[in-house]
Amino acid sequence: MNKHLTAAGAALALISPFLAWTWTPLYPGDLTLYGYPGGSQLVTLVCALTATALLAAPRLAPAGAVRALRAASLAALTTTWVTVVAIAVDLGGVVNLEPGAWLAAGSTALLAVGAHRLPDDTLDPPRPVPRLPRWAEVLVITAVFVLAMYVLTYGITTGSPEEFLAFLPAALFLGRALTVSGLGAALGALTARNRTATAVAALAAALVFPFTQSDGQYTAIADNILIFAAVALGLNIVVGLVGLLDLGYVAFLGTGAYTAALVSGSSFSTLDIGPLPFWATALLGMAVSLVAGIVIGAPTLRLHGDYLAIVTLGFGEIFRITVNNLDGSSGPSLTNGPNGINSVPDINVLGFDFGAEHHILGVEFGRFANYYLLLLAVIALVVFLYSRVGDSRIGRAWIALREDEKAATAMGIEGFRFKLLAFAMGASLAGLAGTVMAHLQTNAVPDNYKFADTAPPNSAFLLAAVVLGGMGTVSGPLVGAALLYLIPAKFEFFSKYQMMLFGLALVVMMIYRPEGLIPDRKRQLEFHEEAVTT
């Protein structure tokens, strides 16, 4: 009976996106057409298709399909009801709902009720996933990354808060379905066996994004996401691999940005240096940030826990106050004080001006698309360094210090030296991102580098990206940075309550998923030890 109820809900949910949900195109996405889903209807259709596939072919889920079906049904329910309620609120009442909207709301509710009344999976252990030929595995990996890039592109390019609000819970619940179905673990094993193919597929999928954009509006958002993702990966070395709570990390981003602004030929620069070529600017920004990391880390890394966090928070504020005062009146003339260093010129590499329009494969690339390509190269470099160091003897020493510093020290690991090395490496990667950020934003001003602010970057934002995404992983901070930048960018009201909502999100994550959205396997087993022993 419950299966038939679920099947009826899924079938009706598949039909509803092909009917009109409202009578007027004033609601974003144009939900007035019959036979042609648009806007949030597409999200409902995808969720319904996923639920139907799990219901019709439960063997698709190696760990069992019922829990995955429940998550998919919640994805369909939330995205549909958010859209239906938004139509009624925005347009002035339920009278603006067409029959398709009523059918969608009822069918997704029926689907969710039916899925949650199905008996639990009894599959133990999960079904083994058959090995595929090498070429087939590469094709699967490529398809997964193309699909992931399409999902991210859809989220970035949603043209209204209503559409993004409908998209976000659906994406989270479908991600939950992927995890509990066992497909996430199978995909992880697949990528582990084909690391080179995984890296190439990820880079190729990311390169597709600027070719899908006709202007720089959404590419600018993608640029900022990549900058913050690169910085979050650097912070992940300190927080995720070594377990040091750094609350002033944004200062290293500012160090790289100010270094680049001073030597890049800006008319506001107080130094008679430059313009230096970008490769020299990037190396100098990394070097200055590395030195800053050593200077800050040497006296502070002998502290532990809350004391270390408080001291790093103090150093972050000291940086902002210092650059704010180096204006020639209360200190030496170096940073122009609150006015900062403006008119930072665009990067020019081998005659390629990143501020000019170019044509690549017949597609016009504007300023933001050019910087997108450069930032992809930066992300690739940061991911390569992070992965190589994390798998090395140094990375294993960091993890040992994170797990039990006393035991690691007793085994011969010099805790202070390895922690200082992590601090310096994380700082240099933030400095590299800062050099690109100064050129992209064409300035470096003190207010950009606070501990907490209504808009990123700030230390609280970066730390939240690492914790929410998943400490100690490569993809976790990337996902965390994307979510935490997109949400304030899409919702104007969010900026007023950013810190409160970040704190609420952290509390919820600590209760229900303390290992993060994309967890490190070891940390996941630590937090869910009961699931392993039962």
Burial of 349: CB neighbours in 10 Å, binned 0-12, 13-18, 19+: exposed
Would you state the pLDDT for residue 108?
95
Q: What kind and span of H or E run contains 127?
A: none
Q: Give residues with Cβ within 8 angstroms of 409, minimum separation 6.
A: 415
Would you state the pLDDT for residue 81?
95
Fill in the DSSP letter of residue 22: B
For 250-274, letters b (16+ CB in 10 Å) and e give bbbbbbbbbbbbbbbbbebbbeeeb
- Write down the pTM of the prediction: 0.86
Would you state the pLDDT for residue 425?
92
- Note the maximum CA span of the chain: 80
Give the model confidence (pLDDT) of 446-466 as tens digits. Answer: 888 887 665 666 777 888 888
Query: d(Cα 518, Cα 17) in Å, to the nearest integer?
Result: 31
Would you state the pLDDT for residue 498?
67
Question: Token digits for 502?
Answer: 């970040």
| CA triple 451-505-49, angle to 5 deg | 130
Would you state the pLDDT for residue 534?
39
Question: Is the separation of the CB atoms in 330 and 321 below 8 Å?
Answer: no
Query: d(Cα 8, Cα 191) in Å, to the nearest integer?
Result: 37
Would you state the pLDDT for residue 525?
60
Question: Is the separation of the CB atoms in 428 and 289 below 8 Å?
Answer: yes
In order along its 534 residues, the chain shows pLDDT tens digits of: 678 889 999 999 999 999 999 998 889 888 999 999 988 999 999 999 999 999 988 888 888 889 999 999 999 999 999 999 999 999 989 999 999 999 999 999 999 999 999 888 765 566 777 788 888 988 999 999 889 888 988 888 888 888 998 999 999 899 989 988 888 888 888 888 888 888 888 888 888 888 887 777 888 888 988 998 899 888 888 888 888 888 888 899 999 999 999 998 888 888 888 788 999 999 999 999 999 999 888 888 888 878 888 888 888 888 989 998 888 787 788 888 888 899 899 998 888 889 888 877 777 888 899 999 999 999 998 888 888 888 889 989 988 988 888 898 888 888 889 999 999 999 999 999 999 999 999 888 888 888 766 566 677 788 888 888 888 788 888 888 888 888 877 776 666 676 677 777 778 877 877 778 887 766 666 666 554 443
Query: d(Cα 268, Cα 261) in Å, to the nearest integer?
Result: 9
Would you state the pLDDT for residue 476?
84
Would you state the pLDDT for residue 532?
43
Query: d(Cα 215, Cα 363) in Å, to the nearest integer?
Result: 11
Q: How far is CA 455 from CA 218, 302, 485, 499, in A?
A: 17, 32, 9, 10
Question: Is the separation of the CB atoms in 371 and 209 below 8 Å?
Answer: no
